[in-house]
Amino acid sequence: MDAAQIWSIVLTSLTLIVALGLAYRPLGDYVARIYTGERDLAVERGTYRLIGVDARSAQTWQAYLRSVLLFSFVSVLFVYALMRLQAVLPFALGLEAPGEALSFNTAVSFVTNTNWQSYSGETTLGYTVQFAALTVQNFVSAAVGVAVAIALVRGFAYRRSGVIGNFWVDLVRGTFRLLLPFSIVAALVLLAGGVIQNLNGFTDATTLAGATQSIPGGPMASQEAIKLLGTNGGGFFNVNSAHPFENPTPWTSLFEIFLMLVIPFSLPRAFGRIVGDHRQGYTILGVMAVIFAASTALLTWAETVGAGTAPTLAGGAMEGKEVRFGIFGSTLFGSTSTLTSTGAVDSMHDSYTALGGMMPMINMMLGEVAPGGVGSGLYGMLILAVIAVFVGGLLIGRTPEYLGKKIGPREIKLASLSILVTPTLVLAGTALSFGVPGIRDDVETTSIWNPGVHGLSEVLYAFTSAANNNGSAFAGLTANTPWFTTALGVAMLLGRFLPIVFVLALAGALAAQDAVPATAGTLPTHRPQFAGLLAGVAVIVTALTYFPVLTLGPLAEGLTR
């Protein structure tokens, strides 16, 4: 790596850090005001009347959960119906309706904030489905994640309360006050950067070789903004953010990275403000930032020192990278999209080196908590904080407490069940893909393009991405098959909503408690010692769970080269 490359990495990193630092306090405080304020906007009051909601009526955790599940179920039906009716909708571009299995998989994917796509966007879906079904879910699925996170934060902040807020109010406020205005601004910036926004359909163009090529258009900037700001992911075009219509220049690529990170990295500030202790927010932020920096550095190192004649001559492993952005532009985007729940890509993770390709997997296996998806990253990190406090309590021999709340058997069981959901889905899905003879034959002959240990890595990546609601893919796996569309759809559903069940139950249990006064034996949770314990718990839990299967896939491939 020469001096110019090092200077570029430093300048890019500093620009991103400064931008996120400037946004942290004002955005975090604004989010806290959104969910703690008493006044409603006129458009919000109209929405409450339309759906029959009393904005002043708070819900128990059970009622909050029922509202989340009901809204999500109706959303799945709505998206599925639009996809199946695509052929008769306006702006269908002459495209047929996707099949039943693909429609189910896609509906589940976008409602769960996963945005896994087993299809080529520009040749499968018309504009009406894109903006009326998928873009709408980009807003509301992200708003659901923030609502659940705020409900858990209220659990820590409330005292002897049987309620944790009102889901419908949280959903509406998150959409109208946070996601919608910021996505409008982001879309305008992307338009200025060259991202397209039109309803032109396909345009025939003559190439330099004299052939005819159909160039797709579409309402790209508006969807790109919310898919990144809401950490949804996916892509309007098949090659995602490597497409020049989605991501024209290096500065738009950096801006897209900023969009993925800005809300998740600001939510710890909102957490600290709502619980009345900004130091707690800084602790969570610090752990997120350290894990993010370490992951990005390791991935960049793995791709920069890639072994082989071609990587040596090219100055690094350039296979699968977008040459406009270079190695660091690709690895920074890759780390960001897999450490959040975005799943957007500007390079092909399947073409990374073996150890480099393992890093995006590990990012998702950590639970996407550094900083994680919009909302889901914060509540995932708080669940890990509860585990860390429990471990600390065992070390000092007293009942663990976090933010004045005792962490008893019920709380630790709910936290443990929450973090066990995704590993169970990932390992079970991967095992069934190779352990059931009929399924294995289909997977090996139809889906896997690269047999051997890399093929195992492709399947492992797919289930890791689905169960963690990420949506990125290794790009070497044909997933539009009956087995994968069904199995990955189930993994997305359970990976999204089972943790939400346990998180809301934990929020209800914590809200019902009174505050416990701090004593000399209370473990301080705002100091570097606890931050180190929290980071260690996140890494160790992941290592103990996934290390055996990683040794069969990317580690085995990396060590044999």
pLDDT digits (tens, 9 = 90+) for 319-354: 778 788 888 999 999 999 999 999 888 888 888 888
Mean pLDDT calculated for residue range 428-433: 95
pLDDT of residue 51: 92
Q: What is the dihedral of CA 348, 137, 501, 471, to 10 degrees?
A: -10
- Residues 6 or more apart whose CB falls under 8 angstroms from that of 226 comprise 135, 138, 139, 142, 179, 183, 186, 232
CA–CA distance, 348 with 365 (Å, rounded to integer): 19
pLDDT tens per residue across span 213-249? 888 888 889 989 999 999 988 777 878 888 889 999 9
| Cβ–Cβ under 8 Å, residues 345 and 334 | yes
Amino acid occupying residue 320: G
Identify the pLDDT of residue 308: 60
Note the pLDDT of residue 286.
Answer: 97
pLDDT at 300 over 70: yes
User: So what's the pLDDT on residue 335?
Assistant: 95
Is the predicted pLDDT of residue 314 greater than 60, yes or no? Answer: no
Query: Higher model confidence: residue 269 or residue 206?
Result: 269
Distance CA 387, CA 413 (A): 10
pLDDT classification of 4: cutoffs 50, 70, 90: confident
The radius of gyration of the chain from alpha carbons, rounded to an integer in Å, stands at: 23
Average pLDDT score over residue span 462-467: 94
Q: Which of 117-126, 201-210, 546-555 is the most confident on average?
A: 546-555
Taking Cα atoms as reference points, which of 155, 197, 175, 195 lies closest to residue 64?
Answer: 155
Q: Given pLDDT bands bounded at 50, 70 and 90, which one contains residue 479? A: confident
pLDDT at 389 over 90: yes
pLDDT at 172: 97
Instruction: Tell me how far apart the terminal alpha carbons of the chain are, to the nearest angstrom.
Output: 22
Question: What is the residue-averaged pLDDT of the chain?
Answer: 91
- Residue 299: name the closest of 335, 257, 325 by CA: 335
Write out pLDDT tens, residues 151-185: 999 999 999 999 999 999 999 999 999 999 999 99
Model pLDDT, residue 362: 94
pLDDT for 139 equals 96
In the prediction, which pLDDT does 312 show? 57
CB-based contact 513:266 (threshold 8 Å): no
Q: Which residues on adjacent β-strands are paired with residue 108?
A: none
Residue 9 has pLDDT above 80, yes or no: yes
Three-state DSSP state, 344: coil
Q: Report domain extents, the chain.
A: 379-559
Q: Which two tokens stand for residue 26?
A: 């004002």
Residue 309 has pLDDT above 60, yes or no: no
Burial class (CB in 10 A: 0-12, 13-18, 19+), 345: buried
Split at pLDDT 50, 70, 90, the class of 35 is very high
Q: Which residue is associated with the tokens 């300048």?
A: 11
Residue 210 contacts residue 184 (beta carbons within 8 Å): no
- Which helix (H) or strand (E) element contains residue 206? strand 202-206
This prediction's pTM: 0.94
